């Protein structure tokens, strides 16, 4: 384990625990502790990524350990943007911060080989690889926000229909706010995914002259792109802004998981990441 990344994990665990407690108890003091711990963890995490980049002499995004760490970092950055825009720390934090802590934990206990990184660094147009992977991971982080907002929407809608308002109902953002978060996050994620796929094709072509390898990760990525394109189109119509769109957001994140883990579970060209 790397000491700095272990400290990052500790900060994220503190942030996650206090976010959950703040949501349950509705206490501002716990919110502030969670936000402070998250900010400290993010600063240390950024320093950890920069340190790895300097020490290894390559972009710190090869293999599962580095990918999990970087994904956790993108989730914090994305969550920070949502928090700045909508001020929904209590609700969204209970979904996001435990996942960030879990990803960082696995990044601490997982070991990687440097062989893949060396092979990619030595390939043609290698500068495109960090652009490609960074765009995709920020897209995945945005799609997680869509997923979390969709779950919150479905939860609230269910209680509204049954008129059985639980203890946490009034602590969630309004349906309008949740729908707006999901719509904006879906648009951002789709844009990043599109750019990520395009840069990946250019990089792949410069590496071995092929734009498409019929790889499991490529296939799942294409399906994910099509689903979120449909989601954005449907959200532009009044009848698809509610429950149906929320279920599409949940299904879309299932495809994101298949895309992220597809290469390692099914084998293929994308053995890194």
Cite the beta strand spans of 69-136 per DSSP E: none
| Residue 50, burial from CB neighbour count under 10 angstroms (0-12, 13-18, 19+) | exposed
pTM attached to this predicted model: 0.87
Instruction: Per-residue pLDDT tens, the chain, 273 aa: give them.
Output: 688 999 999 999 999 999 999 888 878 889 899 999 999 999 999 999 999 888 888 888 878 888 999 999 999 999 999 988 887 667 888 999 999 999 999 999 987 655 555 555 555 557 788 898 999 999 999 999 999 999 998 888 888 777 776 666 677 888 888 888 888 999 999 999 999 999 988 877 777 666 666 777 788 888 889 988 888 887 776 555 678 888 888 988 988 888 877 656 655 555 444
* Token reading at 273: 């990441």
At residue 116, the pLDDT reads 52
In this prediction, residue 124 carries a pLDDT of: 52
Res 273: pLDDT: 46
Share of the chain above pLDDT 90, in %: 36
Specify the DSSP class assigned to residue 173.
P
**What secondary structure does DSSP assign to 38-86, as a single string?**
HHHHHHHHHHHHHHHHHHHTS-S--HHHHHHHHHHHHHHHHHHHHHHHH
């Amino acid at each position: 384990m790397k000491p700095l990344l272990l400290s990052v994990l500790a900060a994220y665990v503190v942030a996650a625990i206090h976010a959950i407690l703040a949501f349950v108890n509705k206490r501002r003091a716990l919110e502030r502790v969670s936000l402070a711990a998250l900010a400290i963890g993010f600063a240390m995490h950024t320093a950890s990524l920069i340190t790895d980049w300097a020490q290894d002499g390559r972009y710190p995004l090869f293999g599962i350990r580095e990918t999990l760490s970087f994904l956790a970092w993108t989730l914090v950055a994305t969550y920070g943007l949502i928090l700045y825009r909508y001020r929904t720390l209590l609700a969204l934090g209970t979904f996001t911060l435990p996942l960030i802590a879990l990803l960082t934990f696995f990044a601490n206990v997982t070991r990687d080989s440097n062989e893949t990184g060396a092979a990619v660094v030595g390939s043609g147009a290698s500068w495109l690889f960090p652009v490609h992977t960074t765009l995709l991971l920020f897209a995945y982080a945005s799609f997680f926000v869509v997923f979390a907002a969709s779950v919150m929407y479905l939860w609230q809608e269910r209680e509204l229909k049954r008129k059985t308002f639980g203890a946490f109902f009034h602590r969630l953002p309004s349906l309008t706010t949740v729908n707006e978060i999901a719509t904006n996050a879906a648009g951002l994620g789709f844009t990043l995914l599109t750019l990520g796929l395009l840069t990946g094709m250019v990089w792949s072509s410069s590496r071995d002259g092929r734009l498409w390898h019929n790889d499991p990760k490529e296939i799942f990525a294409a399906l994910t792109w099509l689903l979120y394109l449909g989601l954005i189109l449907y959200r532009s119509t009044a009848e698809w802004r509610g429950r149906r769109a929320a279920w599409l957001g949940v299904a879309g994140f299932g495809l994101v998981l298949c895309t992220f883990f597809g290469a390692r579970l099914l084998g293929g060209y994308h053995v890194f990441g």
